[in-house]
Amino acid sequence: MSLASMTGFARTHGLTGAWRWTWEVRSVNSKGLDLRLRLPGGFDALDAGARAAATKALSRGSVSGTLTLAREGETAAVSLNQPALRTLYTALKEAAAVLGAAPPTLDALLAVRGIVEVVEADLSDEDRAAVTRDALAGFEDALADLGRMRIAEGAALRAILMDRLDGIARLVAAAESLPERQLEAIKARLADQVRALSEAHAGLDPERLHQEAVLLATKADVREELDRLAAHIAAARELLTQGGPVGRRLDFLAQEFNREANTLCSKSNAVALTQIGLDLKLLVDQFREQIANVE
């Protein structure tokens, strides 16, 4: 399966008898699948079928679909309420004479609500059923186009996420190879610390000092954190290769990456390791930002 983004746009249209219909479908990021439809009056029967189609085609995303309908080659009829227009004109003309104002203009009269009405062409029951059938098929086509666009964006996202994982892997490797983490370096540093404390405080028990130093060294060891980071990198790469709706699992791994990076910084006893931890946190944040777009 391919990795998919949650953002995309699609448009489909068709002609059923004398009626032209057009779908516009958009999707953006969301924690789950949320479908919102705007349908012309009298087309509520489309709702259930459209939701079933969206659930089948998509796993996550906030999806909005708008259906517009127009009669082909025919404009809406305009109805002028002449009795109301005459009555309104007479009343306003008399009021203007009393006030010494100019008589009302035709533009002002036509702007009054109810004077001019736009009468849309009516659908017969047969036409409505046919348009409902064809528009539902058109919505399924729009979902297919939307899915292809989301997959195309998903391919670009996959490349970005793989690049961030490569960066994280390089930082883990750099932490592994730090001279400060080598056994001999740790022993020498501990020996110097114990010797310095013994010289400064002659009454301290050297054996107890040695035990405390070993305990501190154990707490500062980041072996487990580095191993878990390597495991998370392998799991994330596998999910990106696998594709499909893996966004939630990637988000969980991103949280684990962040947890290990924080622990690495808190346990660090070397400036170089602290800097690696900070760089790691930056890459993990960038990784999480991109994951927010993955289905």
Complete DSSP assignment for 17-68 = TTEEEEEEEEEE--SSEEEEEE--TT-TTHHHHHHHHHHHH-SSEEEEEEEE
The DSSP code for 59 is S
Mean pLDDT of 259-281: 89
| pLDDT given at position 108 | 87
pLDDT single digits (tens) 154-191: 999 999 999 999 999 999 999 988 876 555 566 566 66
Query: Would you say residue 291 has pLDDT above 70?
Result: yes
pLDDT single digits (tens) 60-99: 999 999 999 988 765 555 678 889 989 989 998 888 888 8
pLDDT single digits (tens) 200-228: 666 656 665 555 555 555 555 788 899 99
In this structure, how many other beta carbons lie within 10 angstroms of the beta carbon of residue 282?
12
pLDDT single digits (tens) 234-244: 999 999 999 99
| pLDDT given at position 204 | 58
